Chains A and B, each alone.
Chain A
Amino acid sequence: MKKSRQNVISISASLLVTMLIVTALLVSIGKNPIAIYGTVLTEVFTSGYGIGQTLFKATPLIICGCGLAICFHASLFNIGAEGQLNAGSFVTAIAVIKLEALPAPLAIVVSIIAGFLVSGVFGLIPAYIKIKKDVSEVITTIMFNFIIIALINFFLVDLFAVKATMHTEKIPDGYMLFRFSDFIPFFQGSALNASFVIALMTAAVTYFFIYKTTYGYKLRAAGFNEVASKYIGIRVNKVILISFFIGAGITSLAGMNYIFGYKGFYEAGFSNNIGFTAIAVTLLAKNNPIGIIFSSILFAILDYGGLSVNQEVPKEIMLVVQGIIILAILSTDKIVSAYFARAARDRFV
């Protein structure tokens, strides 16, 4: 209970600090912060389109964040989500086209599984190297980001891309997921689609997996104290391998929003650093999948809000805001928990 109070305090403190810094920044470049915040809030919240676009942008972050949360709970740092999610999404987009002979639902399911497996394997390799050779997963996952992107570009250019573009063929219309605006006119024009529901389900399942299953317990134990976990009979290495496989696999689903819900094809650079932004989202939510839904929506508000104020200030300011948030949460976290620790100690004296 006290832990959650600490979290609430440190998260609100970090958002407040971010607000202050950003306000100061806006004033210093001669803009009116109140007007800009006002524009963001009205654009995002007063139209179905704004809300829809925000949730649309939150979708891949939620999914990718859930995958990362599983890796992070094992106390290993997966910086390779950007590569992993691209690998899986690419394979899914190609597989769907190649499996056109199969009935639609089967083709979709098989291609998603194929993507999951490929992403999973790209997570598995760094984990395996970590266990066998004690090489930091940080370095290997970074290297794999570059390797995967280069490989995809190679395959795209040489084999799979539609001529003179950097994207694959479009999948048949019948394979596309429904858009919210098909049923609810309120969301008219926004790209919000069934992937959002899948994202919420992913978060729920991941939450259940981490906090309510034996395996999740082992995962958290291994991450919390490796030595003690080994002592009580948890096979820590196996836990790490499986969590990296599943975690990286889940990131592949982040591509669904774009491929099945929006454009209908894989395009080089579609992920636009989701894999890195998701790290920030996951940290902000303390690796809790339900929290990730909210932190993803916050980052999506910034993302879409950035577009809405682009006339006033360059939309890239929201990247600065996101960077400040992550550093703010890291520091307030430490300061708040140190304060609580001191308070607890003083009570005993």
Chain B
Amino acid sequence: MEVATSILSFAFLAQVLRLTTPFYLGASAATYSERGGVINISIEGFMNLSAFSFAAFTIGTGSLVAGLILSIIVNLIFSFLFSLFTVKLKIDQIVTGVGFNLLIAGITKFLLVLIFKSSSNTDRIEGLPEMTLFKSIPFLDTIFSDYISIFCFALIFISSFIFFKTKFGLRLRSVGENPWAADSLGVEVRKYKMYGVMISGFLSALAGIWLASNQNSYSEGMIAGRGYIALAAMIIGKWNPVNVFFACLLFSAFEALEIALQISGTNVPSQLIQMLPYVITILVLIGFIGKTRPPAADGKAF
């Protein structure tokens, strides 16, 4: 009963919206890449990398801004490498993704021990500054608590605009749907694919930074599958920025529910709730939302 009342409250809704940030940034990252025809299953790894490098650079330089910028640069470098492998060398995208995930997991674990002499977490960091604008408004202060969250919500409109109203978006989509046709019309296919992957690296960097900033440190395994959930949200949202956002809300609702249940101390096993998002993903994929159609040349080399 207590759980029911705590769920049916504005506080819970605000919590759901707040927790959407990393999911939606990750899912948008995946969407940009796949709209350009490159399947990127390393979102999980990219988020992990930026969460770590943000914490490490912030501690190392003593400046949040430097940490933010440097960790984004690291992710851009890695996503550039990813695009070299998948676009330039045309190596299988899934295999490359697995490789990057393994490599990044190794790098973060190694550097964690090397720099912080710990196999579990970094020292404490301050976290990004809070937004003061909505400080006095009860509901909005939770949702718009920081700049990255604000950007995340704005991204729904930014992405929709970019994909469907700009020349860049049209070309990116054409490259993902039919690179041969795009090529015959003079679109530089490989360049656009690379852009897609690099934007993907940038957005997943923000997702990782948000997580590390909210937790005030980096800890081993902190991404906890959010990168993969983001992929699922992208598919359920059919590669459309608005639908993807609603799919992300579904997943963040589960996370909020899990937290609410833990706090209330009900004896619903938390493992089963943790499992639900993945079960639902599969159920949705096998046909409760109708056919999902990826970009026609998704995963194909050009």
Contacts and interface: CB of A to CB of B under 8 A. Distances in A.
A44 interface: no
Interface in A94-144: 129, 132-133, 135, 138-140, 142-144
Given A316-B109, A323-B100, A333-B91, 6 more contacts: A133-B287, A146-B225, A147-B278, A313-B114, A317-B110, A334-B89
A135 B285 contact: yes
A142 B285 contact: no
Interface stretch (A53-61, A153-161, A176-184, A186-194): A153-161
A324 interface: yes
26 contacts: A79-B41, A133-B286, A138-B39, A138-B41, A139-B231, A139-B235, A139-B281, A140-B282, A142-B231, A143-B232, A144-B278, A147-B279, A151-B271, A158-B269, A314-B113, A319-B105, A319-B109, A319-B110, A320-B110, A323-B99, A323-B103, A323-B104, A326-B99, A331-B85, A333-B91, A334-B91
7 shortest A-B CB distances, which residue pairs?
A323-B103, A319-B106, A314-B113, A150-B275, A154-B271, A316-B110, A320-B106
A139 B232 contact: yes
A292 interface: no
Given A129-B282, A133-B286, A147-B279, A154 B114 contact: no
A327 interface: yes
Nearest to A323: B103
Contact of B98 (A143, A154, A279, A321): A279
B181 interface: no
Which one of A142, A143, A324 has the greatest number of beta carbons of chain B within 10 Å? Answer: A143
A40 interface: no
Contacts, number: 128
Given A138-B41, A154-B272, A331-B91, A316 B106 contact: yes
A135 B287 CA distance: 10
A319 B111 CA distance: 11
A327 B103 contact: yes
Interface in B61-100: 85, 89-92, 94-96, 98-100
A327 B100 contact: yes
A140 B232 CA distance: 9
Interface string A45-66: 0000000000000000000000
Interface residues of B, number: 44
A316 to B, nearest CB: 4
A135 B293 CA distance: 10
A320 B285 CA distance: 34
Contacts of A316: 106, 109-110, 112-113, 119
B107 interface: yes
B106 A150 contact: no
Contact of B282 (A143, A154, A276, A317): A143
A143 B113 contact: no
Contacts of B109: 316, 319
B158 interface: no
Given A330-B85, A334-B90, A157 B269 contact: yes
A246 interface: no
A294 interface: no
A77 interface: yes
B245 interface: no
A320 B112 CA distance: 12
B102 A276 contact: yes
B24 interface: no
Nearest to B298: A136
B275 A146 contact: yes
A151 B225 CA distance: 16
A153 B113 CA distance: 28
A276 B271 CA distance: 22
A319 B119 CA distance: 13
B228 interface: yes
